[in-house]
Structure 1
């Protein structure tokens, strides 16, 4: 059952006169409706208007984009950053450029569940479950590897220990979609610092990280992190040059929102700790400690919680033909009482369904 509403969800949504606690969505840091962020955005709109629909490679440049990109790179510890109008576009710009670097016959690996943003018709990688310690094929050296930074559906963090198996004798492009890690993993810096540390002794592996900024960061944009030479080359592609940028008012708001993001992160981590103590004893969830998602394969939980005034994520993704995924998402929006009410409903569900097997992480 899908609900249609007329307001942006935070901790509560209203549908046909009934209120529901909202434990879904991807606004992990609760920034989308933060009053100070909205005030900063208002100031940005006053200066830059609603949008700037011109190429980033045009002969008139807005300094705010460079400022925001420098700040994004500094925040995650990457050498450089390049913004786009969406996370999907960030991924597609990269793989379209990559396909022309490696050629149509290049050997590539792709982890299961890799986001469609990193799919491209000219790239035909082998699917290998890298993150479940599946050994790499002997004597097969990939020219590129595509993967997500985290399994955000089933709440699984990845160690990336398999990077040590990669050859040192040829260049390898590692492209990672960090849409569900940026703002949350590694103190909010996302996956970049974790990967940079593991690749410190593998200079032949060139790292590119893409991400949607529309999730934890609550910005209608995407970002590409990498070395300056790679990003300069990507910037010169027709795919990038022909696209409009993110709205400059949002770039300006981001540049002045350090306190908003810091507060959101602290509040999110506190809420996750409360939820872990309250939900994990039920045995119904797969959950990575410190991550805001609690996954269950007991899809019966969704209609039960809905009947009890709680809305959680449960729909087929990424296509309607895929299995429905039921998960609870914690955010900085939530109050401690919200989490208590959720836990009470989950315990009642577990008591009424004693036949359900506990989830194995």
Structure 2
């Protein structure tokens, strides 16, 4: 069991543990936006105009234009028809799930589907691999007792760094209404063209409605969540009491986002360069399981955590999503890392080159 450290600063490329500086290869701030000085300067500008929080309903009798401006920009970035922001990724998933549940749709869950898109606090998810599950999916859909089926999956498996193919969408029955609900929390900002997310990888079918949800607190570096779908779907979700009763994400962040195109582009390029530098050190080693050009490197060797920590390198290693799960040990690269950081990590793992 790994030790739980309590610290008083936000990690970036390093972390202070009991007065000792360690390289930090953990967390989910893949683009380093939370520690990006240029983004923080824009955020201060935004707070000057909008304050620190907006506690009113988005459906109130006065509304801030910045939400529509940012949602249009997010939709364009993610190659979606429209976007709707909420205060967290968990709320994004639950806003969609509650709207679908109210219509008595049947749900089919993929392996390791994120709790944000669960119907209830405890679910029994499929235990086979994603590919094996996908091969069974057309039969599962055909055998469903409800006419409209919701298929709820993750965009990628970020816990174990496993890529998912969505070619199985072509094999789904064409005589049923299907909603494909995809949690892209660990893909938005880091996969797809320019970090645009999973949208371009999912085939379009006339009877399959696509809804993508994501946390904005990962790569995008903002306290909020987003739903991508067609305008009709998002308008229906917006009319629910679930959405209307929720406070929105702080508008200052969306102000900063609308002015940070170059910041995100540059951070994505740095992240990609860092990933590829570490991929070159990893080579064909069987120590890690890894999606090419993805910042997560999973290992079954949990002892790697203590070994690296002894050499002042902190990596991700704890039980997730529940305390009773097996520890998940992985190295996470971010855009803040310098080339020498990557080389130091490689030296500790494989020896000096």
TM interval, shorter chain, is over 0.9
Structure-2 separation of matches of 1:283 and 1:348 = 16
Q: Deviations over 1:202-242 (max 9, x none)?
A: 11100000000000000000000000000000001111000
Q: Does 1:204 align with 2:207?
A: yes
Give, in angstroms, the shift of residue 17 of structure 1: 1.4
Alignment of 1:1-361 (within 5 A): 1-101=3-103, 103=104, 106-121=105-120, 127=126, 129=128, 131-134=130-133, 135-136=135-136, 138=139, 139-141=142-144, 143-187=149-193, 188-195=195-202, 198-199=203-204, 202-347=205-350
SS class of match (2:8): coil
Question: Following the alignment from structure 1 to structure 2, what is the Cα–Cα distance between the partners of residues 121 and 345?
Answer: 43
Q: Distance in 1 between matches of 2:341 and 2:125?
A: 44
**Mapped partners of 1:125, 1:2: distance in 2:** 28
- In the TM superposition, what whole-angstrom CA distance separates every residue of 1:16-53 from its partner, at most 9, and x where no partner exists? 11110000011111111111101100100000001110
Secondary structure of the structure 1 residue equivalent to 2:290: coil
Secondary structure at the aligned position of 1:83 is classed as strand
Deviations 1:46-78 (A, max 9, x none): 000011100000001000000000000011110
* Preserved contact between residue 214 and residue 225 of structure 2 (Cα < 8 Å): yes
Residue in 2 that maps onto 1:352 = none
Per-residue deviation, 1:108:
2.6
SS in structure 2 of the partner of residue 143 of structure 1: strand
- Shift of the 339–239 alpha-carbon distance from structure 1 to 2, 3 Å rule, reads same
The answer (yes or no) to whether the contact 1:109–1:125 under 8 Å persists in 2 is no
Q: Distance in 2 between matches of 1:309 and 1:35?
A: 25
The answer for unaligned runs of 5 or more in structure 2 is none
Pair 1:159–1:108, CA change in 2 (3 A): same
Kept after mapping to 2: 8 A contact 1:150/1:157: yes
> Where does the alignment leave 5 or more consecutive residues of structure 1 unmatched?
350-361
Q: CA RMSD in A?
A: 1.8
SS of the residue 2:297 aligns to: strand
1:285, 1:295 within 8 Å by CA — same for their partners in 2?
yes
Of 273-282 and 50-59, more deviation after overlay is shown by 273-282
Distance in 2 of aligned mates of 1:123 and 1:343: 39
Query: Secondary structure in 2 aligned to 1:326?
Result: strand
Aligned residue for 2:328, secondary structure, equals strand
CA contact (8 A) 2:111 2:125 kept: no
- The Cα offsets for residues 73-106 of structure 1, whole Å up to 9 and x where unpaired, read as 01111000000000000000000001112x1xx5
The alpha-carbon deviation at position 162 of structure 1 amounts to: 1.3
Give the conservation status (yes or no) of the 8 Å contact 1:179–1:213.
Answer: yes
Given that 1:285 and 1:294 are in contact with CA atoms closer than 8 Å, whether structure 2 keeps it comes out as: yes
TM-score (normalised: structure 1): 0.91
Instruction: Tell me the secondary structure at the aligned position of residue 32 of structure 1.
Output: helix
Say which SS state the counterpart of residue 82 (structure 1) adopts. Answer: strand
- For residue 121 of structure 1, report the CA deviation from its aligned partner: 3.1
Tell me if structure 1 keeps the 8 A contact 2:86–2:225: yes
1:114-172 deviations in Å (ceiling 9; x for gaps)? 00000113997973757313322634257110000000011111111111221111110
